[in-house]
Every structure is written in structure tokens, then in C-alpha cells.
A and B are shown apart, each in its own frame.
Chain A
Amino acid sequence: MSEFAIETTNLTKRFGDVIAVDNLNLKIPYREIFGLLGPNGAGKTTTLNMLCTILKQSSGKALVDRHDIDKEPDAVRKSIGIVFQDPSIDDRLTGRENLEIHAALYGVTLADGKKRIENVLALVELEDKADKLMRTYSGGMRRRLELARGLLHYPKILFLDEPTIGLDPQTREHIWKYIKELIHREKITVVLTTHYLEEADELCDKIGIIDYGRIVALDTPEKLKRRIGGDVITAEVSNPKQLAVELKKHDPTLTLAFTEKIIRVTIPEGEKYIPHIVHAATSLGANVDSISVKKPTLNDVFLAYTGHEIREETGKAMGTMSMVHRRRIK
């Protein structure tokens, strides 16, 4: 018996000549919150689609909740809940009707289903909207309902494919709140894909950075970030050189660079270091004209691990209708 919720062995998917997922070996323990982080086209969704049994792998093997995705797709489907990247609700029905269909398809008993539907609706705070047609929902509300639906049948593993894509920052933070809450309440394994570093950082126990269908780094968010070196503080001061010497005196291992007007320090938790710079500068009698902290982005992480920038988006061609639809959801 495997203690892993997900275990893949050389899982590979080819589309013609293109290798979308390349010999993926993943082991995700039960109750872990795992994030697949990578740019569009890195193979995240393809991986997820294979694990969800909607796409057949070209070679390799995968166990989901100890069931082979190839041989026992129905057992896999019963064990998992999915929130797709693209909307997948029927917007001509009400929220509750969508949930009722889901409950029936997943064999949740009628009596239990009623309670459970109330339960998941409460989790995403949509109780009073439940009987409205879904076409009247906002993008964030639709996402919440999809989250609720993904949980409805007590899955052991929940897949979230880009759970906050296309949502505004405020809504995104809301969704994060609900995800954290459900992780806390349902005690399930979560596999999410994202191309937002903050998102993976905020939610995940472990992050796998994926590029060209391969995992290039796999670790906790803290360790990954530490390897990049942390935030970049850029300060405009009158005497960068002296300041650099002064700062080095306190911490000889400090990573810094300076020009005639600017000093740049790379350090974890940069905002806490700002007072220190200001203090050091004033003690030298220098002026600080401006100071800024830049959090590492996915681009920086990428650069650090893959040696190249995130390539331009090469999302597969979408039908015009789904484009329109997605825009509307935003």
C-alpha cells in the first residue's frame, strides 16, 4: 500500500512531436497541499487532465488514491474533486441545481446530499445566492460554487487548476481564504496548478516548478525562495559606495551591488531590512531619495532554476466563444 495520494512513474504525454509532459515522477503524500508552478504551456493542465482521467497518457503510469488512472478510471473519478481552469458550470441553472446534478452523478445519497449541499454552500458563503440562476453570478462567485461542487462528494483529493486565473486581486484573496478554510475543514489532499508565485506561496506545503513538462525544482516555498535569495531592495542614495561598506561591516555575506547613485541589496524579507538601510545611511550623513522592495516573481524563480525567462504565452488556440466567455467572467 502506498502512502501517497498521487504517485506517478515516468508519466509522459506527447501531442504529435511536442512532449507536453516529460517522464514526470511525482510523489504527493496524503493531506499535502501541493502546487505545480509554471508558465502557461509548461504541462500543468496536461498533467492534471491525465490524473483526472480525461486525457490518456502516452506512456508511464500514475496512481491516484492508489487507483491506476488507466485501469480503474471510475475509482479514480470517485476519489477526486476537480475545479477546472475554464468555467464548467451550467449557467442556465441555479447554483443549487448545479450541485444537485453533481451529487446525483457522484452517487451522494439524497438525504446526505441535501445536508452536504448546505454545508459546502456555507463554506463558500453562497447560501443566499444558491437559488439564483448562475448567469447572474460574478466570476468570483462562480469560482466559489465550483469549489463547493468539487468538494461535494467527499473527495480524497481535490484538483484546482489555476483556481484564481482571471480574477481581480481582491477576489483572488477571497478565494484563497476559502481554499485555506476547506483545507482546514476537509482535511484533504490538494493539488493545484498556478502561474502565480504568491498563490503557490500562500497555499502550498510543497511546490514543484515545472517547465517544458519537467519538474525543475521541488521543495517547500520557503526553501525555494531562499535559494533565489529573497527580495530585492533598491535604494537611491547619495553615497552608495560608503553605504555598501557600512552594510557589509554588519553582515559580510550580504549580497549587494551598487552604481553611482543606486544600491541594490538582495535579502529575504526585504521590508524588515529597510529601516536598517535608512539607519545606516543617515548615520553616514547621506540622503536617501527613494527606496523600494521588489518581491521575487515567478520570473525570478524561473530565472534562478531554469536559467531562462518565462517564455511568451503560447496557450493553445481557443474558440472565439470561450474567449468571449472568459472575458465575461473576468
Chain B
Amino acid sequence: MSVTRSIYVLWLREVKREWREKTRIIASLTTPILWLFIFGTGMRAGKIEGITDYQVFIFPGVIGMTLLFSSIRSGISVIWDKEFGFMKEILVAPVSRSTIILGKAMGGATNAFLQGIIVLVLSPLIGLWLHPVRAVLALPTMFIMALGLECIGLLIGIFLDSLEGFQLIMSFLNMPMFFLSGAIFPLSMAPKALAVAGYIDPLTYGVDALRIILLGNYGILPLWIDLTIVCMFALLMISLCSLALRKKKQ
């Protein structure tokens, strides 16, 4: 009971903080929209074998990107908490480290998830009329993807103490993870080395799962494998973060 409540208040804090900063939300939605409408529209003219509509093809990838960028960015909250002292308040409270991580991770993941939904809702604008069942089925996958990605951000935040350092690492992670995930080109057609790198990228499986669920097309792996990997990754990352927070000396 008290653990659930602790997780709940920490979750609520993350969500409140995010949605009180309207500019931040708008800024973080701008990137995916630019990719979808400018890059997507521009590339539509080109022909890639096996892809009928490029904009539709990258749509699940752009959702994946929204989740990725938003999740990793929110790891910065750990650094803010350290700088502005709130971390101390949490750390001296009689709650376990995994409770703290769960609250923070679910909060950040929720924010990313909600932004992902905003992008999902834009689908008619590219002429993609999703079946409601498909859209609803995509939601849990999106949330679990966000949870795993969020923990990457938290992990960096736990180990770093400076905002500059965080931003540097973030920019080194975001783009490669996005490009390698097969979000904007099919991994099946990529050269071997690139494809191997793609399979190391955890985002790949989420994007693949979203393609199968939303579009019923372009999948490269069976859905159950994608989903298993997405879930395992989230679990692994949550455990790693809890461990890191326990180990990290004040």
C-alpha cells in the first residue's frame, strides 16, 4: 500500500512537472512532426522497393522516435533533482531504491507515451486511417517501449552530475538509435554491418512491433519476438537503474 502510494506520488510529480511546461511539450513534438511531414513528404517521391507509401512506412518509426527522444530527455530530471536538492529528500525517505526508480521511470514513460499518442492521433493527416483496434493494441507496446527507453535516460542521469555532459551523451545516443532502428529505412535492405548494428538497437524491436500492430505490414521479425524483447529490455533496464541508484554514493 505505502509502496504503491510512494510510486504514485513520484509518478504524479513527473507528470505534473512535464505538463506544466507547455513550451517543452511543443518543442519535443516539433521534431517528430518535421520528420513526418517534411522528410516524409519529400521522400515520398522516391521509390524504395517493397514500400508503397513512404510516409506510412515511417509513421511507426516516428512514434518510436517520439518515445525515444522524450524518454531519454527526461532522464535529465535526475540531474536537476541532484542539483536542486530534491534527490536528497527522496533518498533519505524510508522507501527502497526500486520504488524511487519505478516512480520516476513510470512518470517519464507516461509523458513520452502521451506524446506518442499525440503523434498517433495525427495519422489521418498523412492519409493513414488506422483501425481503432490496431491503435488501441499499439498503446501497451508504446508504454513498455517508453519504460525501457526512459531507464536509459535515468541511468545516464544517475551517473552524470552535469547537464552539459548529459546533453552530450543524449545527442550521441538519440540519432544513432533512431537511424539504426529501421525507423526510416527497412533494415532488411541495409548492408550487413548496418543491419547487425540495427539488431543491437533496442528501439528496432519496438518499431518493428508497432509496424506489425499498426500497419500489419513491413514486419521483419515475428511479433511475439519483438514484444518479448521489448518487455525484457524494460525489465532489465529498471533493475539496472535500481542497482545503479543503490551503488551510487552520495
Contact = CB atoms under 8 A, between A and B. Distances in A.
Interface of A: 49, 52-55, 74-75, 77-78, 82, 84, 86-93, 97, 100-102, 104-107, 149, 319, 321-322, 325
B187 to A, nearest CB: 40
B84 A52 contact: no
B86 interface: yes
Contacts of B162: 319
Nearest to A90: B86
A56 to B, nearest CB: 8
Contact of A54 (B5, B16, B85, B88): B88
Given A101-B9, A325-B84, A54 B89 contact: no
A52 B94 contact: no
Interface string B85-113: 11011111111000000000000000000
A97 B20 CA distance: 14
A93 B14 CA distance: 10
B26 to A, nearest CB: 17
Nearest to B88: A88
A88 B85 contact: yes
Given A92-B17, A93-B17, A97-B16, A54 B9 contact: no
A92 B20 contact: yes
Interface in B1-41: 2, 5-6, 8-10, 13, 16-17, 20-21
Given A87-B85, A92-B20, A319-B83, A105 B161 contact: no
Interface in B192-250: 250
B17 A105 contact: no
B92 A53 contact: yes
Name the residue among A52, A53, A87, A105 with the largest chain B CB count within 10 angstroms.
A105
A322 B88 CA distance: 14
Given A100-B9, A319-B162, A54 B92 contact: yes
B90 A105 contact: yes
B85 A89 contact: yes
Given A89-B86, A101-B9, A105-B93, A319 B161 contact: yes
A54 B250 contact: yes
A86 B92 contact: no
A82 B162 CA distance: 26
A125 B202 CA distance: 52
B88 A84 contact: yes
7 contacts: A87-B84, A88-B88, A102-B89, A104-B6, A104-B9, A319-B83, A325-B84
What are the 9 closest A-B residue pairs judged by CB atoms, nearest first? A88-B85, A105-B93, A104-B9, A77-B94, A107-B2, A88-B89, A101-B9, A74-B94, A78-B94
Contacts of A107: 2, 94
Given A105-B9, A105-B95, A107-B2, 7 more contacts: A49-B250, A53-B92, A54-B91, A77-B92, A89-B85, A104-B5, A325-B84
B250 A55 contact: yes
Nearest to B85: A88
A77 B97 CA distance: 14
B86 A88 contact: yes
Contacts of A100: 9
Contact of A91 (B10, B84, B89, B163): B84
A4 B81 CA distance: 34
A87 B95 CA distance: 21
Nearest to B20: A92
